[in-house]
Structure 1
Amino acid sequence: MHVRPPAGRRVLVLAASSVLFLSAWNNVVVTRLPGYPGSYVAANLAATAALLVAARAGGLSWAELGLARHRLGAGLRWGGACAAVVAGGYAVGLAVPALRPLLADARVAGLDAPGIAYQVLVRIPLGTVLWEEVAFRGVLLGALARLLPASRAAAVSAAVFGIWHVRPTLSAVAANDLADGPVRTAVLVLLGCLATAVAGGLFAWLRLRSGSLLAPTLLHLATNSLGILAAAAAHRLG
């Protein structure tokens, strides 16, 4: 007869395996999948579903995952307010000519209108934001919160979120020609990952404060999707 492991052990295995899996996925795995970058959205959606199944099998409730329906209102209020602040910041950056270069991104400069629309409406919401929020502020944070105090759980999830961004930060540094040697590149990647870890801490705090995954999702979506639109506008305004 099959004996199911104790709930505490299952959550520990879920948390540990999630840390290892997420540390590798964005830096090594996804770029090596067949059809990349075209497979990016489909692969991340499949990974989202698989991780949710694993979390439920590991004993996490919908509330622990930030997906309780009765917390949607709080998530909307917190996330909507934060998204409005981000939108205001981008608007100020575009209105002040001296700030526009800070918004520019060479990876956006070459995109046409359909390319921008795909990024803003498909790739970022489904391939990036949904996956990262479910993975980090849903499953990983939910599992860690069973094992650690909330503040430590948030800190660990934020640290893994920083590690997750090693490859994307390296790509951004190269695309924008920000470094002229390996030492400067390493420093910029480290700083970029530290910045995303801080952002991950903010997202985790929003998730815990609101009780809903919707709050960090709205902030994350505003930061990334509006960031693409702001970058495109900055290039066109000069």
Structure 2
Amino acid sequence: MRQLLLLLAVVLPLAAQAQALELVPTTLHLPAAQGRTELWLRNPGPGHWRGQLQVWAWDQQQDAEHLQRSGQVLASPTLLDMPAGARQRVWLLPASSVPVAAELAFRIVLAPAEAGMPRYSLPLFRGEPASPARPRLQVEVMTGGSQPMLRLQNGGTGHARLSDLSYEAADGQRRLLLRGLAGYVLAARRRQWPLPPRADGYAGGRFRAHLQDGADVILTPALPTIAASQPSGL
């Protein structure tokens, strides 16, 4: 029993450090020209969270995610020291007042100072395109390799946030592929997902997903189905 109590005395402080911060909102937006936005943090306890807020430019190239430290968005404060029960407001604003024509994407990262503490990454988008209609998504299904791939090309000026991705076969049968958040396709970028093999090679069917505004979007692959000799990973 004494050994068990000693073990709990070691484990419980570590578990207390791993509590989650409450973040509001979880998706951030900055206007195209001037203006700022705020992020609220709350530490419900019982542990103490210390760390740094970082701004990363977010891009998608060669079917992969790329992050690079950026000075295009300013944050205050950047050093965070939050005991249990503390609340903190962080201001975010563009470094330049020059308007942007197309949406820019960033990741706001809360990097912990100590091992075992949780790390957070929130999307931030800057821009209000002149035509804020839903993103224009073009669909390709590549079946030439050992792993079928779904590729989405976003020809719009704003990002697409996809959730509950499913496939509807030609006979109307629907299969959920990814429950919850499937991922983002940034403006003028593309992204791809691996698909489970099907005997029909996904011919004659269509994909469906929900966008960030809750709309149900239908994604019909272009014909014919595009084959790739070697599918690239995401």
Tell me the TM-score range normalised by the shorter chain: under 0.3
TM-score normalised per structure 1: 0.20
TM-score normalised per structure 2: 0.20
Greater RCO (Cα-Cα under 8 Å, separation 6 or more): 1
Q: Which has the higher strand share?
A: 2
Larger Rg: 2
